[in-house]
Amino acid sequence: MMIFTSIYGVVDGIFVSNFAGKTPFAAINLIMPVFLIIGAIGFMIGTGGSALVARYLGEGQKERANKTFSMLVSVSLIFSLVISILGAFFIKPIAHMLGARGQMLSDCVLYGSILLPSMFAFILQNEFQSFFIVAEKPQFAMWVTLSAGFTNIVLDALFVGFFKWGLMGAAIATAISQLVGGIIPLFYFIFAKESPLHLTKATVNFKDLLKACTNGSSEMMTNISMSIVTMLYNFQLMNVAGEDGVAAYGVIMYVGFVFVSAFIGFCVGSAPIISFHYGATNHSELKRLRKMSTNIIIIVSVFMTFVSLLLARTLSGIFVGYDKELFDMTVRGFSIYCFSYLLVGFNIFASSFFTALNDGLVSAIISFLRTLLFQVISILVLPVFFGVDGIWFAVILAEAMSLLVVLAFFEKKKSKYNY
């Protein structure tokens, strides 16, 4: 589900780059981190809330689980609508602050203005991905994601490829697909009374709300930090390589989303299982899950790195094959950046694992160091010595430093959680 979500997000980039040009393509890459930050609200409530709800189910508190679930969905709906309204007033100043000028600024404002009204659905879509696992309906979640994805792909082909609406068409296609991905699950949980999870009358429980937000803060921090770091990458690339640098990084990020989403999807799928057995004090199963997960991640990490090296030119050509200089820069960057896949999976799993154990503090520390502090240090220091290549190497150094922290936490906490 997560892999396909990332793939249909990539479709915008392919159509815009090939049919509208590299300036609109760079504009999407420049403004997209803003919407990922907004969407992080859904990941926070979804991951933190699902861990809490799954624990209640493991303890046999079904009524409390449904009340908590309903409250979290209601709060996220209200909050997301407020954010969308406020965003309409600030989208232009934000784009200008990120470095957009001239036509790129106009493109950022156009794309953002169309996407903002559908942000509530984007947040719900991110949130329900975790709750569908707890509700024992991962297959239904997959079909919802496929529906949203195919909607985006078909409308991109129609609006951008056939009608030639360019950036506007891509934004409309994305907005409609987000509505599909967010509203269908909402109606499911309203009417599926036989489901282990369903929406009921919501009452605010500030203790549970705070617990869910605190527990999911690491996932929110991960998404916000990644977006902030992306902004910093774009800023550095604008200074070192100009618009082409931003476009090249955009290609690498689009492809990277697909690979990293495999790890995220594994973590989203496994976290409620870990939370359930933690709530049931089934220590032997926790140990088995931790060992099995580690082995899976190692195998997939090596495979992803090999595939990335093998297909660097092909994948780059799909996006920017029309511009040789941009193509060469993208291939070079992708061939370096892909070695981060050897490390990133285990670091993502570690953060998710501690969230599932309801240890939001450790998870947040890992996420903060991995996605923000180490990344910022690397992206500011390495380009001074290695130029553009330093930007591509930055993520590898950050993930390596994060792995050392992760290993230390796993060793320190093993006696407490018996995994």
CA angle 39/45/46 to nearest 5° reads 85
Of 155, 158, 162, 159, which Cα lies nearest the Cα of 176? 155
Q: What is the pLDDT along the chain (419 residues), one digit of tens a residue?
A: 777 767 766 777 788 888 888 888 888 888 988 898 898 889 889 988 998 998 898 888 999 999 999 999 999 999 888 988 888 889 999 998 888 888 989 999 999 999 999 999 999 998 998 899 889 888 888 899 889 988 988 999 999 999 999 999 999 999 999 999 999 999 999 998 788 898 998 888 898 999 888 878 766 776 787 788 888 888 888 788 877 888 899 889 888 888 888 998 899 889 888 988 888 889 999 999 999 999 999 999 999 999 999 999 998 999 888 889 989 999 999 999 999 999 999 999 999 999 888 888 898 899 889 888 999 999 999 998 998 899 999 999 999 999 999 999 999 998 888 88
Distance CA 323, CA 243 (A): 13
Name the 3-class secondary structure at 241: coil
Q: Where does 321-387 have alpha helices with state H?
A: 324-337, 341-356, 360-368, 374-386
Q: Which two tokens stand for residue 316?
A: 């780059």
Q: Which of 2, 9, 1, 4 is nearest to 28 (CA)?
A: 9
Cα separation, 171 vs 178, whole angstroms: 11
What is the rounded CA–CA span in Å between residue 251 and residue 183?
Answer: 30
The region, left, alpha or beta by phi > 0 then psi within -120 to 50, assigned to residue 195 is beta
